[in-house]
Amino acid sequence: MSALLICLRHADVATWHHAFLVNRDVRRAYGARVERIFFNAEHPAEVWVLIDWDDTARAQLYARSDDLIDLFEQEGVNIEPRLWLLNEMADPSGAGAIPLANERGVPPDNGTESR
C-alpha cells in the first residue's frame, strides 16, 4: 500500500479543514482511500495529513497535479507544503501490522509474541 504524507501550515486550521473535506471527491478520483489528519500539539497551525492510496503511481500523479496546487491555493496554505510519497514495508511473517505493545502496554520481547 502507498500513502501520501503532507505537512502544511495554516493560520486558521478550522477553515483549512473545511476546505480540505469539501475537496475529498478530487482526492477520491485520484485513488485516495483513507485520510487521517493530525496537528502538531506544540504548534497547532502545523497540520499533517496522511492519505492511504490504492496505487503508488496514482498517488504520485496527485502529488504533482494542478488539482493539488489549486487546492492549496484555495485553502490558503501559508507556506510551501512538504509532501512525501511512502510505500508500506511488508511484514515478512505475513501476519499484518507488527504490534508496538500488547494490551498491557508491554512491548513484545523478541517478535514472537502472538499478534
Residue 97 lies in a domain: no
- pLDDT confidence of residue 10: 87
Residue 77 lies in a domain: yes
Cell of residue 100, nine digits:
508496538
Residue 75 lies in a domain: yes
- pLDDT confidence of residue 71: 79
pTM over 0.85: no
Residue 69 lies in a domain: yes
Residue 37 lies in a domain: yes
CATH classification of the domain holding 37: 3.30.70.100
Residue 112 lies in a domain: no
> Which helix (H) or strand (E) is 14 found in, with range?
helix 13-22
Residues with pLDDT less than 70, the chain: 78, 92-115
